[in-house]
Chain A
Amino acid sequence: MGLKSYILKRTLLMIPTFFALTIITFFISRLAPGGPLKYFILGPESQISMESYLILSHKYGFDKPLWVQYVTWIKNIFLGDFGTSYANYQPVTLLMAKRIIPTLVLTSTSFFLSLIISIPLGIICALKNNSYIDFFARITTLIGMSMPSFWEGLLLIYFFALYLGWFPTLGYQTITSINPTTWESMKDIAWHLFLPALTLATGSLVLVTRLVRSTMLDVLRQDYIMTARAKGLKERIVILKHALRNVLLPVVTIIGLRIGFLLSGAVIVETMFAWPGLGTLMIEAVYSRDYPIIMGITMLVGIMVMIANLFTDIIYAYLDPRIRY
């Protein structure tokens, strides 16, 4: 089986996953007692009459059988229509489109930030096993693993924003001039981005560092490394050409999973820093029980994670020919 047919097979496997995601999302949100709309409109302090409720219920199709609602919902998703928000009657697709760019900016920055720090750091720790650097890195990663991201964000805000005043405490961009140039607004976003991206990156950073370190230690004990050294190769070449590729394999696997974690973590970090992304939209929707938005975001994030996993598997297959054959 070549790489192409592997990719095809792997892509086809996404279909059942997609439907499982739709079923889980749809039925969990229907678990709300009396259906989603009832909770939204007929809350404890609701002023609305039963008649208006029935009219609305009919308008949103809640009087139809559950499976009809489900099929309609899926059909509309394929047409790019995630429904209409209960709260402000706007299409969910439009609301999500406004919020997706900040989330992507935040998560992708954190993603690359964590990789460019953790991979070299993990390698250094493994090469200098049991040295002071290694010990220090192990303690730091343990601390990083145990810190709730919102608390870490809080400490970063205290120090860098309130005490030193280097970065803004929250937000996505400042509106200073009427028509900022692209360069100006990019600089502004990057300035706002630093603290949230660092906060979000920490979890992945410490995990990948630990993984790279332990894998590198394993790889360095392998016979082929001894052979490479025995051939008289320079240590640098042994590490970079022989060891690194084998270290990267488990890293690629975990990176795929980390993307899901980053998107999850983004919910908390975005709330912490008032970042106008999908996470804050999700929380706003949860507060007002706006189920079309909640379901739409869950679907969107699920689809993004599925695509990320697809790419991860393809990269893995490319790096490790054993997968393909």
Chain B
Amino acid sequence: MSQTGKDNKNEQDQYGSTSYIIKKIFRNPSSLGGLVIIIGMSIIAIISPYVAPYHPDKNFWDYSYGSPNTAHIMGTDHLGRDVFSRVLIGARASLIIGIGATLLVLLIGVPLGAIVGYYGGLVDNIIMKFTDILLTFPSIFLLIILVSVFSVKGIGAVILSMGVLGWMSMCRVVRGQFLSLKEATYVKAARGLGYSNKRIIFRHILPNTLSPILVMGTLRIGTAIMSAAGLSFLGLMDPSIIMWGTMVNLGLPYMSFAWWISTFPGLFIFITVLGFNLLGDGLRDVFDVKRRGLRE
């Protein structure tokens, strides 16, 4: 894949101007749809404590297992708590974990991938063997063990565990980009001008690897939200944190007569993950030089 832009006639248009990229993102139905969902969910996460109709832990004992009506549009759960309010608040933990875990993955994976890809040699060999081995194992088992050793299974513990176990694929992608880009003409030119390695890595090569990092990062947020939902569904997170997965799990015993307790939180997980998948897919289309070349 030519990230150097040498095949493109209007190089300035594609790499120089952010507005061109933004226009493309808005014109792609997939990334546009994804953006709408993500922005909507973020707004919900931010304003939910102020707009939720009830306090999420308030028990309506005379209306537990209540079916959806005008007062409780998503019904109430087995403890008489308003499902709608809890679903709105639940957006917070999901987004924080998704974005936090992804930031940690980027923080570990990108510099490590950049360094081993740029310098190569023995360290590169060792790190790559190590990521190979780690990638072989089903990560959820390691994640479950790691989370289980924390005594407080809060949001921080989950973000930390996901970051520690999730940086490998990011590292590999960045390394691959650096391996091919370090031979590019402009990098050789920069080296010829006597620029330091640090400057070449961060100012010259890294900006050109941003598009795959951005695509992977977006998809990764969706994956992290899904894993967090899985962990909380399995009951491995602190039950006092309002999480969509926990809510689905709590509703399971009552699904034959109170379907709303589990269904609505699950729907929100689905919509949120769908948003990040749509955006990731759309960004891939927008950035993909090879495919764009074919279409135009």
Contacts and interface: CB of A to CB of B under 8 A. Distances in A.
Interface in B117-155: 129-130, 133-134, 136-142, 144-146, 148-149, 151
Contact of A150 (B148, B233, B277, B281): B233
A75 to B, nearest CB: 21
B230 A143 contact: no
Q: On chain B, which size bracket covers the interface?
A: 35 or more
Contacts of B144: 267, 282-283, 286, 294
A16 B262 contact: no
Contacts of A20: 130, 133-134
Contacts of A143: 270, 274
B79 interface: no
Interface string B146-178: 101101000000000000000000000000000
Contacts, number: 136
Contacts of B226: 148
B230 A268 contact: yes
Interface stretch (A79-87, A231-239, A258-266): A258-266
A142 interface: yes
A16 B138 contact: no
A154 B136 contact: no
Interface stretch (A59-67, A222-230, A247-255, A295-303): A295-303
Q: On chain A, which size bracket covers the interface?
A: 35 or more
A268 B259 contact: no
A151 B248 contact: yes
Contact of B234 (A32, A283, A289, A305): A283
A268 B137 contact: no
A17 B133 contact: yes
B273 interface: yes
A282 B266 CA distance: 23
The 5 closest A-B pairs by CB, nearest first: A151-B266, A146-B274, A264-B140, A264-B138, A32-B149
Interface of A: 16-17, 20-21, 24-25, 28-29, 31-33, 39, 142-143, 145-151, 154-155, 157-158, 162, 169, 260-261, 263-265, 267-268, 271-272, 282-283, 286-287, 289, 294-295, 297-298, 301-302, 305-306, 309
